[in-house]
Structure 1
Amino acid sequence: MPESRARDIERGKQAVRGRLWCRRVDGDGATDDPYGKIPGFYGADAAAACLAELEPWKRAAIPVTDDQKRSATMIGMRIASGLLVAGMTATATACSPAADRATATVPAAPAAPTATAASQRPSETLSPVLERPLPNVKGKTFTSAIVDFPPNARAVAHRHGAAFVYAYVLEGTVRSQLAGEPVRTYHQGQNWVEQPGAHHLLTENTSRTKVAKLLVIFISNTGDKLKIEDPPT
């Protein structure tokens, strides 16, 4: 890529960041001092605290020094802050004039697995771990869950309603596709996010002999159902 083109792209990114931050400040959605956060949206600290209580998160790394403990805590806060930032970004983008939005061409999605087709293979199991209202974000609930995929398991196409979703691969390898996006493969330690209303066409364990496991975080409207499967066809 030409250097001038790269500079133009970076300037464009910075302009979007600036507009987003101004909208959050004007709407009283951001803290006065963003120093040390990504950035400091209200509710990020509460989400980080919920995340820090999860046993899979505690087992993900074993801090042995004070510096490592501080580092592990900061990583948790950054992930939780990032979840809320991405959700805020989606909201700001949806409210922006069409001229402000970036356009892209994406490949057409293949047909989603129906309930009948998916039933011919093992299915996943979602086990909630922690559910807690976000004290600084009225009407929103933080929910964490472990999703277990037996060998060769495949989920029925589904949505998560108005929830913003973060998924982290704890074990194994998972193949995933959201509507309008290409198929992607995620290995242990990798992650992805799903915007509110996203249609999750494909989620499957790529191995026929090994299990796969996800840690999934939902920031949802309090009381909403977390997973809505496509009806059988």
Structure 2
Amino acid sequence: MHQSPIIKTATTLIAAVAAGILGGQIVCAQQQQPIKRMDLLKTPLSDLDGKEMQVWVADIPPGAATGPHFHPTPRFVYVLEGSLVLELDGKPPRTYSAGQAYVELPGERHNLRNASATESAKGLGFQYVGKDQPLQINAP
């Protein structure tokens, strides 16, 4: 059966719109994968009254990001796998790869993201905080 050029164009347009919507949903689903944190240690620090050390491993899915936030105390991170991009307000982004470490200082607003859109990244984090104090505070 022969289709008119208008029907072919409409069919192509509908297919393209459907592919765009489906592709957009797939991208959104990938970006919404949560960062998983596995707590390894939480222990009181006798030298720092009321403070405790927390140690964890974070698994950062491809393309995932923390969103803007800051920490009440220093956070130290050692990259175990992949690469992480630290985006500090007012400074150029810095990329840290497996085997490198960095610090996020108290009150510095920043975003952390996986540098790869296809591979997971992992970081080992260390931070001391007051008992029941949040490790991070989301920022606008």
Per the TM superposition, whether the score is higher than 0.5 is yes
> Shift of residue 119 of structure 1?
8.3
Residue 227 of structure 1 corresponds to which residue in structure 2?
136
Distance in 2, Cα, partners of 1:221 & 1:178 = 24
What secondary structure is seen at the aligned counterpart in 1 of 2:76? strand
- Using CA pairs below 8 Å that are at least 6 residues apart, which structure has the higher relative contact order? 2
Alignment of 1:1-150 (within 5 A): 121=31, 122-150=33-61
Q: 2:67 aligns with which of 151, 156, 166?
A: 156
Q: CA RMSD in A?
A: 1.9
Q: 1:223 to 1:119 in 2, by over 3 A?
A: farther
Structure 2: stretches of 5+ with no match in the other structure: 1-27
Compare the two structures and name the one with the higher helix fraction. Answer: 1
The Cα of 1:188 is off from its aligned counterpart by 0.2
* One-letter amino acid matched to 1:126: R
Query: May I ask how many residue pairs the two structures share in their alignment?
Result: 112
The counterpart of 2:104, out of the listed 176, 181, 194, is 194
Q: Aligned equivalents of 1:218 and 1:168: distance in 2?
A: 12
Q: How far did residue 194 of structure 1 move? A: 1.4
User: For 1:124 and 1:211, how far apart are their aligned partners in 2?
Assistant: 10
Query: TM-score, length-normalised on structure 1?
Result: 0.45
What is the aligned-residue identity percentage? 35
The equivalent residue for 2:119 is 210
Q: TM-score, normalised by structure 2?
A: 0.72
Unaligned segments of structure 1, at least 5 residues: 1-117
Q: CA deviation at 1:123?
A: 3.3
Whose strand fraction is larger, Structure 1's or Structure 2's?
2
Deviations 1:1-34 (A, max 9, x none): xxxxxxxxxxxxxxxxxxxxxxxxxxxxxxxxxx
- Which is higher, the Rg of structure 1 or of structure 2? 2
Moved over 3 A (4+): none
